[in-house]
Amino acid sequence: MALKGTMVIGQSGGPTAVVNASLAGAVLEAKRHPEIEAIYGSLGGILGIIHEDMIDLGRERLEVIEGLRSTPSAILGSCRYKLSNEDYERILAVFRAHDIRYFFYVGGNDSMDTTHRLGQLAADRKYRLVVMGIPKTVDNDLAHTDHCPGYGSAARFTALSVRDAGRDSEALSNMGRIKIMEIMGRNAGWLTAASALARENPEDAPHLIYVPERPLNTDRFLEDVQRTYERRGHAVVAVCEGVKDENGNALAESRLPIDVDAFGHGQAGGVADVLCRLVKDRLDLSARFDKAGTIQRVFMATASPVDVQEAALVGEMAVHHAVKGVSDRMVTLERVADEPYRCTTGLVELAKVANLERPLPDEFLSPSGNDVTEAFIRYAAPLLGGPLPPYARLAKHPVARRVAG
């Protein structure tokens, strides 16, 4: 017998350009199933359920729900909140009061853990509840999925911004500039690696790439920069904000109480400034840094159409499986082919995703530790939703000099 009742959906963690597309996919699919008698949205992630702060998404106009596909950030509001035992009991009480039988949570590995634990508690209390995880993270670090909704759009932003910064640096190469671009990523360098997609030819920026999966030795870093500068007259470096030294310590991270979240994560950032000062002090070269900050994860103008489509698809498939009685799973993206790119969906147990991070594999990183491989380019390029707009380059036919000296 089909489970009937209300569904509630929430968004958690860092917003992305396409997380609302997942919400749209889930809501539109839910409207097709009479088993789902009402559709609620939880405001502020899981906190909206704890505080019984929910809205009726079923009453929203259809064009508004459709418009979520092209609306960035988390429209329901988000949070980074670690639940206590009392919180779990409170959530179950709210579920009972509203006859909520379907819970969908859009988020990363911490969110999958929350979803899994809620499903376990409901089962222990003999309360019939279906729970499903919908993947989301620009970090692309969820296990058991080929890639994560949100990554393709942030990767496209990264490639475009690094490419333009490279042209800016190249124009002033007679001034000997070193430019360091800091890109988001706490423990995984997937987004920083995407900067390599900016290259139209081997001489294009970025010239050096550093990710947390490879320890950064400052002496070797300075040698890389010096060698690149001598060859080109400038250098553009893409560095992940979470890059670590040889002892596994972040080169830059705030541990102030106000900058540490509920899961004990310090606020990453500041590594580009550290490396710029190092270049100035040790190499006596001019160095500046660019840091896009949180805009890189939600910039809708550079959203990947592939990413938008797949984000809506995972939301849709979560509801599709849930009404069939599937529970305690996260929807995954499964790559079928690269050329032409084709992807389908699958399912994985939430317990296999919860609290796990997937780093860049060795085959995607160069032996030198300062670049990516062609294998990564083949993996990531289709996720951008098409090639970057081509840029022109002058052939620079020289004019013969006529004045001595």
Could you write out the DSSP letters of every residue in 133-182? EEE--TT---TTSS--TTHHHHHHHHHHHHHHHHHHHHHTGGGTEEEEEE
Q: Are residues 273 and 340 in the same domain?
A: no
Q: Are residues 307 and 208 in the same domain?
A: no
**Helix (H) or strand (E) segment spanning residue 219:** helix 218-232
Q: Are residues 230 and 330 in the same domain?
A: no
Whether 272 is in a domain gets the answer yes
Which residue reads 């490879």 in tokens? 214
Give catalytic status of residue 139 as yes or no.
yes
Query: What token pair was written down for 266?
Result: 């310090």
- Catalytic residue, chosen from 113, 139, 204, 307, is 139
Specify the number of domains making up the chain.
2
pTM of the model: 0.94
Whether 404 is in a domain gets the answer no
The residue type found at 58 is: G
Whether 283 is in a domain gets the answer yes
Q: What pLDDT does residue 88 have?
A: 96
CA distances from 93 to 27, 90, 375 (A): 24, 5, 49
Whether 87 is in a domain gets the answer yes
**Helix (H) or strand (E) segment spanning residue 104:** strand 100-107
The residue type found at 374 is: E
Nearest-angstrom CA–CA distance, 231 and 173: 11
Q: Are residues 272 and 363 in the same domain?
A: yes
Q: What pLDDT does residue 259 have?
A: 43
Which of helix, strand or coil describes residue 278? helix
Nearest-angstrom CA–CA distance, 383 and 327: 28
pLDDT under 70 in the chain at which residues? Answer: 1, 174, 176, 253-269
Q: Are residues 370 and 290 in the same domain?
A: yes
Whether 164 is in a domain gets the answer no
Q: What pLDDT does residue 16 have?
A: 98
Q: Are residues 190 and 253 in the same domain?
A: yes
Q: Are residues 238 and 317 in the same domain?
A: no
Nearest-angstrom CA–CA distance, 52 and 159: 41
CA distances from 351 to 110, 155, 200, 248 (A): 11, 28, 41, 27
Containing structural domain, residue 48: 5-149+302-352
Residue 133's nearest CA partner among 162, 155, 112 is 112
Residue 216's nearest CA partner among 236, 177, 242 is 242
Torsions phi, psi for 23 (to 5 deg): -60, -45
Q: Are residues 90 and 198 in the same domain?
A: no
Q: What pLDDT does residue 177 have?
A: 87
Whether 94 is in a domain gets the answer yes
Whether 319 is in a domain gets the answer yes
Q: What pLDDT does residue 265 have?
A: 54
Q: Are residues 307 and 253 in the same domain?
A: no
Q: Are residues 226 and 84 in the same domain?
A: no
Whether 22 is in a domain gets the answer yes
Q: What pLDDT does residue 263 have?
A: 55
Torsions phi, psi for 85 (to 5 deg): -60, -40
Q: Are residues 233 and 376 in the same domain?
A: yes
Q: What pLDDT does residue 404 have?
A: 86
The number of C-alpha atoms within 13 Å of 141 and in the hemisphere containing its C-beta is 24
Nearest-angstrom CA–CA distance, 222 and 85: 49
Q: Are residues 70 and 198 in the same domain?
A: no
Which of helix, strand or coil describes residue 353? coil
Which CATH number covers residue 242? 3.40.50.460
